[in-house]
Amino acid sequence: MTQLGMVIDLNKCIGCQTCTLACKSQWTDRGGREFMYWNHVETVPGQGYPRGWQVAGGGWEGERLRPGRLPRLEEDYGIPADFNFDAALFQQGDRPLRPLDAMQWGPNWEEDQGAGDFPNGYFFYLPRLCNHCTRPACLAACPRQAIYKREEDGIVLIDQERCRGYRYCVAACPYKKIYFNPLAGRSEKCIFCYPRLERGVPQACAYQCVGRARHVAYLDDPEGAVHQLVEVWQVALPLHAEYGTQPNVYYVPPLSPPAFDPEGRPTGEPRIPEDYLRQLFGPGVDAALATLQAEIAKKEAGGESALMDLLIAYRHGDMFRLSRPGEARS
């Protein structure tokens, strides 16, 4: 099987949610999907979306599926509230625009909250989507074999004809990136924009990214940025690899300015605690950050850095290589 992968550079993500809206307006703006964000950007550290997904179970424990729980619509995803557009915009008076329903949660509910105390507060943005895992727990959990992984590109899909809404997949996904559509009575998820890919157009989230933060290519395409960043430079790492599903979305971890000591002098320690980054991206994060720093230093000194050139992405089109290795480039 060949696997299409994505690398998201967290040093370039500005949390603008253009990816979120590109995805939403394309795939999830109606029909019981209003609360779903196949792609979203959350502020970390935090409980995230759905609330508490990192402690909701799922994934693998060796050869066995780890039990997981189902997120609740109002409490964990957040209801898609209607707003008083008519009263606020078209009626006399000075009523402000407000949601009509009392909202409890939503995607990026903890926007820019982060952690740490002044002057050492910190946060960064974490875009999340289905990882199109090599060892998908969702697929293994489905008693109806309604979930399959495409041979040609490794995209994980739910056969809507076979799905009967049992939601074992929702519980099993440790990233909580499968959503139950309560109106349709079936589960749905990110389709990696396969109808776009099949016409040679990159995923909406990646193509619309204003920060040029997302690279897409086959993992075994030696000239693709994904292979270069994951295998050669080893600066792109999977999120929570310990969940055991072998995710295929990778992250270039965030560098951060130095923390300050009580006298207000920079300490040389990064503001984002290394332990926190290790929790998310595993032990490889130290070497990845060191590589990034060394290559940045080269560039700053006026030298060359192939890695920096790759991450800067001077040409938008270079970020996407959608042909399978060995195939003629379209």
Nearer to another protein, 141 or 311 (CB): 141
Indicate the DSSP class of residue 177. -
Nearest to 245 by CA among 67, 61, 71: 61
Nearest-approach distance from CB 166 to another protein, in angstroms: 5
Residue in the block written with tokens 């074992």: 168
d(CA 245, CA 49): 19
Nearer to another protein, 69 or 196 (CB): 69
d(CA 163, CA 69): 19
Nearer to another protein, 176 or 215 (CB): 176
Nearest-approach distance from CB 33 to another protein, in angstroms: 11
Nearer to another protein, 78 or 244 (CB): 78
Q: Which helix (H) or strand (E) holds 207?
A: helix 204-207
Nearest-approach distance from CB 21 to another protein, in angstroms: 22
Nearer to another protein, 77 or 233 (CB): 77
Cβ-proximal residues to 254 (8 Å cutoff; 6+ apart), any chain: 10, 11, 124, 272, 277
In terms of C-beta density within 10 A (0-12 exposed, 13-18 middle, 19 or more buried), how is residue 229 classed? buried
Residue in the block written with tokens 């009626």: 91
Nearest-approach distance from CB 79 to another protein, in angstroms: 8
Rule CB under 8 A: which residues touch another protein?
32, 35, 69-74, 77, 79, 143-145, 164-168, 170, 179-180, 182-183, 185
Nearest-approach distance from CB 311 to another protein, in angstroms: 38
Nearer to another protein, 166 or 194 (CB): 166
Nearest-approach distance from CB 188 to another protein, in angstroms: 11
What does the buried/exposed string (b/e) look like for 250-278 if buried means 16 or more CB atoms within 10 Å of the residue's CB?
A: bbbbbbbeebeeeeeeeeeebbbbeebbe
Nearest-approach distance from CB 187 to another protein, in angstroms: 10
Q: How far from 188 is each of 148, 291, 313, CA to CA, in Å?
A: 13, 38, 33
Nearer to another protein, 158 or 230 (CB): 158
What does the buried/exposed string (b/e) look like for 101-134 if buried means 16 or more CB atoms within 10 Å of the residue's CB?
A: eeeebbbbbbbeeeeeeeebebbbbbbbbbbbbb
d(CA 225, CA 319): 7
Nearest-approach distance from CB 145 to another protein, in angstroms: 6
Nearer to another protein, 77 or 281 (CB): 77
Nearer to another protein, 142 or 155 (CB): 142
Q: How far from 171 is each of 65, 71, 152, 198, 315, CA to CA, in Å?
A: 10, 8, 27, 30, 40
Nearest-approach distance from CB 108 to another protein, in angstroms: 19
